[in-house]
């Protein structure tokens, strides 16, 4: 039996506490399921929704195979520019791919709903001992590319959202919060364009590398950081979303599961509290308590996906509830 309690506060628009015990077993099975190989361009085209055009492997910057994205959009241009969604894969900043089913599939389905969608690759930490700031720089470059090509792909540059899980959630939130002068734009092209997004859906989000975190995440960060000691501490601050909390934060919908052992739920709890205290006024938090852990969004897809869809419809399409 599902239970949902809605709490409304002055600065926190919605706090959902969701207990979905009936989905726990299904979620555990999904987390342990072996991943299928990434589909080819032709395989993707064979299963495109009607009315959707797919453009594969676009280079948003030259010089590295990681700097590519896939784009899906409505085949008909329409009378006006369309909202866009950037899908960012997870994988601990060192694994994953833009064609993982959890990111490619919604890219196609949201294109069928009228969005221009991109699913983005970025440099991974295992490549030349890169650090997390490079991942941030890359996704920011991808958003700048999208704005630079807004007319070509019929994108409204004032209606761009981002979504991801785990490391992808971290990068999505960074897109929404990090100011231009934070030193994270990188040296890529399209510097005259903004890398900011206007709405974010994120699940199992690492929000601070400054507070205690799981040993798994902490060790990975320490091993991959380029600089030791004080400089590493500064890098932690620099890539922590909580460092950029402000009353100007864009609308957010955050998911977490209270037993998550990879990214502890306190990461979201602390972040939500900081947003609330800053004066941010459109922050929505969904806390599951069904034991599905780090993969809770996928495990609870029947509940979570309609919430994501409604959130983007409200914030990017400006549709009423």
Per domain, the residue ranges of the chain are 3-33+41-315
How many angstroms separate the Cα of 35 from the Cα of each of 31, 70, 214, 311?
10, 20, 24, 28
Q: Per residue in 166-184, pLDDT tens? A: 999 999 999 999 999 999 9
What is the Cα–Cα distance from 71 to 86, expressed in whole angstroms? 9
Q: Per residue in 190-248, pLDDT tens? A: 999 999 999 999 999 999 988 765 555 555 555 555 555 667 788 889 999 999 999 99
Q: Which residue has the tokens 């195979």?
A: 65
pLDDT interval class at 321 (50, 70, 90): low
User: Which of 15-24, 138-147, 196-205, 244-253 is least confident?
Assistant: 15-24
The residue count of the chain comes to: 321
What is the Cα–Cα distance from 310 to 181, expressed in whole angstroms? 32
Residue 130 is predicted with a pLDDT of 67
What is the Cα–Cα distance from 112 to 299, expressed in whole angstroms? 23
Q: Any alpha helices (H) in the chain, and if so which ranges?
A: 24-32, 41-46, 101-112, 132-148, 150-153, 167-177, 215-224, 229-238, 266-278, 296-299, 301-315
What is the Cα–Cα distance from 273 to 252, expressed in whole angstroms? 13
DSSP state for residue 49 in the 8-state scheme: P
Q: Considering only residues 180 and 13, tell me which one the structure prediction assigns the higher pLDDT.
A: 180
What is the Cα–Cα distance from 5 to 19, expressed in whole angstroms? 9
What is the Cα–Cα distance from 123 to 167, expressed in whole angstroms? 13
The residue among 88, 118, 92 whose CA lies nearest residue 102 is 88
DSSP state for residue 290 in the 8-state scheme: S
Can you tell me the mean pLDDT for 290-317? 98
Can you tell me the mean pLDDT for 261-273? 95
Q: Evaluate if residue 4 carries a pLDDT over 90.
A: no
Percent of all residues in the chain with a pLDDT value above 70, rounded to a whole number: 82
**CATH dotted code for 3-33+41-315:** 3.40.50.1820
CB 311 within 8 A of CB 83: no
What is the Cα–Cα distance from 30 to 43, expressed in whole angstroms? 23
Residue 235 is predicted with a pLDDT of 87
Residue 215 is predicted with a pLDDT of 58
pLDDT interval class at 118 (50, 70, 90): very high
The answer to whether the predicted template modeling score (pTM) of the entire model surpasses 0.95 is no
Q: Evaluate if residue 251 carries a pLDDT over 90.
A: yes
Residue 126 is predicted with a pLDDT of 76
pLDDT interval class at 3 (50, 70, 90): very low
Tell me the Ramachandran region of residue 18: left when phi exceeds 0, alpha when psi lies from -120 to 50, beta otherwise. beta
CB 88 within 8 A of CB 120: yes
Residue 218 is predicted with a pLDDT of 57
| 3-class DSSP state of 7 | strand
DSSP state for residue 87 in the 8-state scheme: E
């Amino acid at each position: 039996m599902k239970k949902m309690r809605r709490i409304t506060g002055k600065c926190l628009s919605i706090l959902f506490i969701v207990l979905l015990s009936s989905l726990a077993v299904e979620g555990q099975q999904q987390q342990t399921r072996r991943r299928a190989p990434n589909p080819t361009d032709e395989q993707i085209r064979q299963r495109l929704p009607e009315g959707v055009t797919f453009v594969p492997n676009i280079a948003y910057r030259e010089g590295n195979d990681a700097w590519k994205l896939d784009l899906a959009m409505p085949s008909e241009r329409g009378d006006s520019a369309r909202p866009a969604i950037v899908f960012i894969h997870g994988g601990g900043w060192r694994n994953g791919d833009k064609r993982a089913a959890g990111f490619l599939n919604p890219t196609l389905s949201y294109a069928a709903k009228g969005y221009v969608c991109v699913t983005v690759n970025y440099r991974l930490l295992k490549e030349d001992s890169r650090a997390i700031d490079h991942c941030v720089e890359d996704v920011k470059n991808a958003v700048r590319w999208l704005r630079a090509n807004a007319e070509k792909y019929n994108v409204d540059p004032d209606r761009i959202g981002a979504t991801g899980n785990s490391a992808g959630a971290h990068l999505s939130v960074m897109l929404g919060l990090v100011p231009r002068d934070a030193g994270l734009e990188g040296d890529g092209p399209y510097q005259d364009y903004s890398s900011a997004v206007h709405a974010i859906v994120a699940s199992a989000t690492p929000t601070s590398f400054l507070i205690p975190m799981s040993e798994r995440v902490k060790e990975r960060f320490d091993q991959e950081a380029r600089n030791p000691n004080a400089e590493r501490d500064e890098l932690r601050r620099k890539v922590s979303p909580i460092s950029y909390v402000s009353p100007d934060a864009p609308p957010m919908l955050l998911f977490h599961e209270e037993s998550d052992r990879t990214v502890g739920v306190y990461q979201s709890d602390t972040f939500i509290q900081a947003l609330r205290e800053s004066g941010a006024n459109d922050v929505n938090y969904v806390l599951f308590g069904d034991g599905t852990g780090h993969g809770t969004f996928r495990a609870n897809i029947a509940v979570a996906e309609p919430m994501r869809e409604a959130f983007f419809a409200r914030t990017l399409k400006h549709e009423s509830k």
